[in-house]
Amino acid sequence: MMARRSLMVGFGGYLPDRIVTNDELAARLDTSDEWIRARTGIGQRHIAGPEDNAVSMATAAAAQALDYAGMPAADVGAIVVATSTPDQAFPATAVRVQAALGMRGGFGFDIAAACSGFVYALTVADSLIRTGQADSALVIGSEVYSRILDWSDRGTCVLFGDGAGAVLLKAGDAAQPAGVLSTHLHSDGTMGDLLYVDGAVGLREQSGFLRMQGRDVFRHAVAKLSSSVDEVLAANGMTHADVSWLVPHQANLRIIEAVARKLELPPERVVMTVDRHANTSAASIPLAMNEAVRDGRIRKGDLVLMEALGGGLTWGSALARL
């Protein structure tokens, strides 16, 4: 078998219809549009309606990615869904999506790595393709954070939004320049209490709300994402100048700008959606990719660097050529 590489051949996204502005939040919280924008860069976010859930949003994003690639769902070999907000403890969101798409073959499973989830899922799907376990894979991030937020806590509830994004990978020849070049994952469980959800299926007495020590998360994010960026470039013998686009996890404008400065990338080469989407966790990178590919910014041959940090703490980077 030829040496294989994962080609990114399809892109899709889904955002709920309801948009909540900063002014709407300010009407019921001790905050303001100016306060939120100055600290985060966020102006609005999409919030799931009664008909939206992790499965429905993931399915919609996946269908778009398949349509973009012109591939029928029946031909997909694997589905890897990154989510911290599944509709059920089990079965996995991925197998629900498999059923919704009408797939009768292949396999699917979920990954929980918080905001780093898409980079983790991309790494796993890429490994499945490289080793021949699958010839194609849908990599999906789908999050409904609005349902785990304490809406009285202005330090967290203003930061997040809901949505789903998907990328379709297909096996290609590693001798060609396009495809996922490398991915790099890290975690440090000693910092798990900096960003976490207070409760789960096994801890019903807890609140089930997201909790965060924002300043500490910010400090670690800039340092760890910068080192992760250097790591993925060094692994591929490339420099900052080779990067066409930075597609970062959309958590905070100041974090994104700090990493872009590290890369010496001007703002016009950074895909930014945080102002309109807020932090959609594992969905943020594929949502941003979908937007930038479809509006023509990211083109065939471009070198794209993706990076994210999330609760765990988990972080990682990926480098791909379209």
Average pLDDT over residues 192-217: 77
Predicted confidence band at 206 (pLDDT cuts at 50, 70, 90)? low
Low-confidence winner among 1-5, 81-85, 198-202 (lowest mean pLDDT)? 198-202
| Catalytic-labelled residue, pool 249, 252, 277, 290 | 249
Average pLDDT over residues 46-68: 98
Given a cut of 80, whether residue 132 has pLDDT beyond it is: yes
Q: Are 274 and 155 in contact (CB under 8 A)?
A: no
Q: What's the CA gap between 240 and 245, in Å, rounded?
A: 10
Predicted confidence band at 199 (pLDDT cuts at 50, 70, 90)? confident
Active-site residue flag, 249 = yes
Given a cut of 50, whether residue 1 has pLDDT beyond it is: yes
Q: What is the pLDDT of residue 202?
A: 47
| Average pLDDT for the chain | 94
Q: What's the CA gap between 195 and 200, in Å, rounded?
A: 14
Predicted confidence band at 48 (pLDDT cuts at 50, 70, 90)? very high
Active-site residue flag, 279 = yes
Q: What's the CA gap between 40 and 273, in Å, rounded?
A: 12
Domain 179-321, CATH class in plain words: alpha beta
Domain with CATH 3.40.47.10 in the chain: 4-173, 179-321
| Catalytic-labelled residue, pool 115, 184, 220, 252 | 115
Percent of the chain with pLDDT over 90: 86
Percent of the chain with pLDDT over 70: 97
DSSP 27: T
What is the CATH code for 4-173? 3.40.47.10
Given a cut of 50, whether residue 178 has pLDDT beyond it is: yes
Q: What's the CA gap between 9 and 136, in Å, rounded?
A: 10
| Catalytic-labelled residue, pool 22, 53, 252, 279 | 279
Low-confidence winner among 43-57, 163-177, 253-267 (lowest mean pLDDT)? 253-267
The pTM of this model reads 0.95
